[in-house]
């Protein structure tokens, strides 16, 4: 799996590149395990 870090309107975000070239959003920071948003 390849990860892409990009900037979103709310700050840094991550996506996982898929074999077909699409990208799926990754919740939180996959490098530290921290969630990006507090769960309510």
Listing DSSP states for 1-40 in one string gives -EEEEEEETTEEEEEEE-TTS-EEEE-S-TTT---SS---
Q: Has this prediction a pTM greater than 0.75?
A: no
Comparing 33 with 12, the larger pLDDT belongs to 12
Comparing 6 with 38, the larger pLDDT belongs to 6
pLDDT tens digits, one per residue of 1-24: 788 888 888 888 889 999 999 999
pLDDT of residue 17: 92
Comparing 20 with 28, the larger pLDDT belongs to 20
pLDDT of residue 39: 41
Question: How many Cα atoms within 13 Å fall on the side-chain side of residue 13?
Answer: 12
């Amino acid at each position: 799996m390849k990860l892409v870090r990009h900037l979103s309107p709310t700050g840094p975000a991550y996506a996982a590149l898929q074999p077909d070239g699409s990208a799926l959003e990754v919740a939180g920071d996959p490098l530290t395990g921290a969630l990006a948003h507090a769960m309510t």
